């Protein structure tokens, strides 16, 4: 199949065509020609869309699909289709399945199930067996089978020595260790950010300290082991400060933030809507401001949707017992486009995550493999259920005003448009 993208504005700071509007001819998955005007032929698949922009393929570093074990939340097939329609050419899939992805066979199962899909799948293996935090999982074997990192999704490693050993052991094969930033003893039974709003509403609070003390511990262990660490989904101003200082010291630490923690604060708690119950919780306006600044300064490396489908039975219940999590793939770009310029967005959802997770870099130049996200930055709209492709509908951004949208992707010699 020969595909021709007409009048596409190229967003790629590493390409000589950056910010230029060109026609792009793709032949058998390779960018054959980039020019002002490329004449159409009958056998061409033509893509001509309003305000079409293309960037190197987006990579979401934290996505949960239910399969295996929780197919009622989401299947791999529909999940990957959702990612493609949302503009993502690659997703890193968390190990929170049943059984947990903690061995090479489980990693290979995910990869094999995704064969022939437009969106690539990269498993994150569990750091500990069954994500129970007791014994380390088969990290090396999982990496040899295709795992790109190791972490227990939303489960902190409470055993300090276990985290130390993991950071040391992973150095033998350049493995990336992930540590969820939460101290359960301090967080206790909290369900929302500890602060004025939780107090007014009578909700048990999760102090910012619960995150920050875990970040501090992990950074001390990182300095001791001289290892490589990724801290997913930070949410407080002090966490930013700690990580910034660690980077200045030269420690190999990277971090991410979930999109909802970038845009929303704990004032959303009023109304007791379980859609806004996430982990880490929505923090204060001051935290949100600090997190946004950290993205612009490059202290925070990656932005993730932290896509986590939850079935209605576990969300449409009393706030305090509702399950944490929100889907986010479908709203990811449109939400980010309300606060950041396109160069920051593409750096944090394409360039940086690929580098950190050890994937080859991408470029939009003639002769390069075509792995492209297609989108527009124009047009406001209200995000509603008709914009959701996931089986689960638990979106924190439902009924919110967003801007621009993903059109789809070209990847693996396939064009997917929503």
Average pLDDT score over residue span 375-384: 98
Residue 366 banded pLDDT, cuts 50, 70, 90 = very high
Is there a single domain that holds both residue 328 and residue 223?
yes
- In this predicted structure, what is the pLDDT of residue 396? 98
pLDDT tens-digit readout, 176-210? 999 999 999 999 999 999 999 999 999 999 999 99
Is there a single domain that holds both residue 129 and residue 265?
yes
Is there a single domain that holds both residue 31 and residue 102?
no
Residue 74 banded pLDDT, cuts 50, 70, 90 = very high
Of 190, 211, 195, 336, the residue nearest 270 (C-alpha): 195
Average pLDDT score over residue span 296-304: 98
- What CATH number has the domain bearing residue 351? 3.20.20.140
- In this predicted structure, what is the pLDDT of residue 332? 98
User: Is 90 exceeded by the pLDDT of residue 141?
Assistant: yes
With 0-12 CB in 10 A as exposed, 13-18 as middle and 19+ as buried, what is 389? Answer: middle
41 in a structural domain? yes
- What CATH number has the domain bearing residue 39? 2.30.40.10
- In this predicted structure, what is the pLDDT of residue 16? 96
Average pLDDT score over residue span 278-291: 98
Average pLDDT score over residue span 79-92: 98
Is there a single domain that holds both residue 139 and residue 158?
yes
- In this predicted structure, what is the pLDDT of residue 1? 86
Last residue of one domain, picked from the residues 303, 331, 356: 356
29 in a structural domain? yes
338 in a structural domain? yes
Is there a single domain that holds both residue 189 and residue 266?
yes
Is there a single domain that holds both residue 342 and residue 391?
no
Last residue of one domain, picked from the residues 329, 356, 383: 356
Average pLDDT score over residue span 238-266: 98
DSSP 195-258: SHHHHHHTPPEE-HHHHHHHHHHHHHHHHHHT-EEEE-----HHHHHHHHHHHHHT-EEEEEEE
Q: Are 241 and 287 in contact, with CB atoms under 8 Å apart?
A: no
131 in a structural domain? yes
Is there a single domain that holds both residue 49 and residue 62?
no
Is there a single domain that holds both residue 246 and residue 281?
yes
d(CA 47, CA 160): 53
Tell me which of 306, 324, 341, 343 is the catalytic residue. Answer: 306
Q: Are 102 and 95 in contact, with CB atoms under 8 Å apart?
A: yes
Q: What is the pTM assigned to this prediction?
A: 0.97
Average pLDDT score over residue span 161-189: 98
Which residues constitute the domain of residue 19?
A: 2-53+366-417
165 in a structural domain? yes
Last residue of one domain, picked from the residues 330, 356, 382: 356
Beta carbons within 8 Å of 256's beta carbon, 6+ residues apart: 61, 62, 230, 231, 232, 233, 234, 300, 301, 302, 303, 304, 353
User: What's the mean per-residue pLDDT of the chain?
Assistant: 97
With 0-12 CB in 10 A as exposed, 13-18 as middle and 19+ as buried, what is 247? Answer: middle
Is 306 noted as a catalytic residue in this protein?
yes
∠119-121-122 over CA atoms, to 5°?
145
- For helices 104-113 and 76-85, the axis angle rounded to 10 degrees is 60
Of 162, 103, 94, 176, the residue nearest 133 (C-alpha): 162
Is there a single domain that holds both residue 134 and residue 47?
no
361 in a structural domain? no
231 in a structural domain? yes
Q: Are 224 and 161 in contact, with CB atoms under 8 Å apart?
A: no
Is there a single domain that holds both residue 203 and residue 271?
yes
What is the phi-psi region of residue 417: left when phi exceeds 0, alpha when psi lies from -120 to 50, beta otherwise? beta
For the chain, the domain total comes to 2
Is there a single domain that holds both residue 146 and residue 274?
yes
User: Is 90 exceeded by the pLDDT of residue 215?
Assistant: yes
Is there a single domain that holds both residue 128 and residue 42?
no
Average pLDDT score over residue span 351-367: 97
372 in a structural domain? yes
């Amino acid at each position: 199949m020969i595909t021709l993208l007409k009048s596409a504005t190229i967003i790629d700071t590493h390409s000589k065509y950056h910010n230029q509007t060109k026609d792009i001819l793709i032949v058998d998955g390779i960018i054959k020609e980039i020019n002002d005007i490329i004449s159409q032929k009958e056998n061409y698949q033509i893509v001509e869309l309003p305000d079409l922009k293309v960037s190197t393929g987006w990579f979401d570093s934290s996505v949960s699909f239910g399969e295996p074990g929780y197919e009622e939340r989401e299947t791999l097939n529909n999940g990957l289709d959702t990612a493609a329609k949302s503009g993502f050419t690659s997703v890193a899939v968390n190990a929170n399945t049943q059984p947990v992805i903690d061995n090479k066979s489980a990693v290979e199962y995910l990869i094999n199930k995704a064969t022939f899909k437009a969106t690539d799948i990269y498993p994150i293996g569990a750091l500990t067996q069954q994500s129970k935090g007791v014994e380390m999982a088969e990290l090396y074997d999982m990496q040899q089978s295709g795992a790109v990192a190791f972490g227990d999704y939303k489960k902190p490693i409470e055993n300090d020595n276990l985290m130390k050993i993991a950071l040391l052991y992973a150095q033998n094969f350049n493995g990336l260790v992930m540590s969820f930033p939460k101290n359960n003893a301090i967080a206790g039974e909290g369900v929302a950010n500890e602060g004025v709003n939780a107090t007014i509403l009578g909700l048990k609070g999760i102090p910012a300290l619960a995150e920050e003390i875990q970040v501090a511990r992990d950074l001390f262990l990182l300095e001791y082991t001289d290892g490589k660490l990724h801290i997913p989904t930070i949410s407080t101003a002090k966490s930013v400060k700690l990580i910034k200082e660690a980077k200045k010291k030269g420690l190999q630490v990277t971090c991410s933030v979930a999109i909802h923690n970038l845009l929303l604060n704990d004032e959303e708690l009023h109304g007791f809507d379980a859609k806004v119950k996430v982990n880490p919780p929505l923090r204060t306006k001051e935290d949100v401001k600090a997190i946004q600044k950290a993205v612009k300064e490059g202290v925070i490396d990656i932005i993730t949707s932290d896509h986590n489908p939850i079935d209605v039975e576990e969300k449409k219940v009393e706030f305090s017992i509702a399950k944490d999590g929100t889907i986010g793939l479908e709203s990811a770009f449109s939400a980010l486009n309300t606060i950041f310029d396109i160069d920051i967005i593409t750096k944090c959802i394409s360039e940086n995550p690929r580098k950190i997770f050890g994937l080859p870099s991408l470029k939009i130049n003639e002769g390069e493999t075509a792995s492209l996200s297609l989108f527009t930055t124009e047009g406001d709209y209200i995000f509603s259920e008709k914009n959701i492709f996931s089986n689960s509908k638990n979106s924190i951004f439902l009924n919110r005003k967003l801007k621009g949208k993903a059109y789809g992707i070209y990847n693996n010699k396939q064009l997917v448009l929503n």
